[in-house]
Amino acid sequence: MHPMPPSLSLILGGARSGKSEFAENLTLRSGLKPLYLATAAAGDAEMRARIKIHRERRGREWITIEEEIDLAAAITDNALPGHMVMVDCLTLWLSNLMLAGRQVEAECGRLLEALNQSRGKVVLVSSEVGLGVVPENAAARAFRDYQGKLNQRLAQRAGYVVLMSAGLPLTLKQS
């Protein structure tokens, strides 16, 4: 029997680090009703193929809700007692916000407020994008900065934070 995860968990990592699978396993081990909150837009054939792989890996026990922009409302509506909501992923959500011309800082504030008010457990998947070279264009640097700031704010709030690398979890915080 695994211990019950805290109300908020944050799983970080780079591309193909194993963060989604780790978060899925954490969600399933909780014994709570698993709900997958997907932020990806199936804008091209490659993304449709990636989404298909994720869906097939999860199986039928999951409820899947797709929400590309209004993540705060989706968490408020679905993070209920007896449920564990897995959000995959915040990195795509941030890029969706930027592409839609939304006020990123305000939306991040709404997300944090929704998490503070959540009545269920939530697992967030997010990329650690600040480990590479400094992007050469302003939009990419702004994205990196928004992602880094959001990850910091969420890590402060979360009771459990894991960094995935090469499929291996490194626990950064456990309370």
103: left (phi over 0), alpha (psi -120 to 50) or beta: beta
**Annotated active-site residue in 19, 54, 58, 83:** 54
**What CA–CA distance (Å, rounded) separates 29 from 128?**
24
Q: Name residues whose C-beta falls within 8 Å of residue 137's C-beta, 6 or more positions apart in sequence.
A: none
**What CA–CA distance (Å, rounded) separates 161 from 155?**
6
Q: Counting beta carbons within 10 angstroms of the beta carbon of residue 3, is it exposed (0 to 12), middle (13 to 18) or buried (19 or more)?
A: exposed
Contact status, residue 42 vs residue 53, Cβ threshold 8 Å: no
To the query of whether residue 54 is one of the catalytic residues in this protein, the response is yes
Residues known to be catalytic: 54
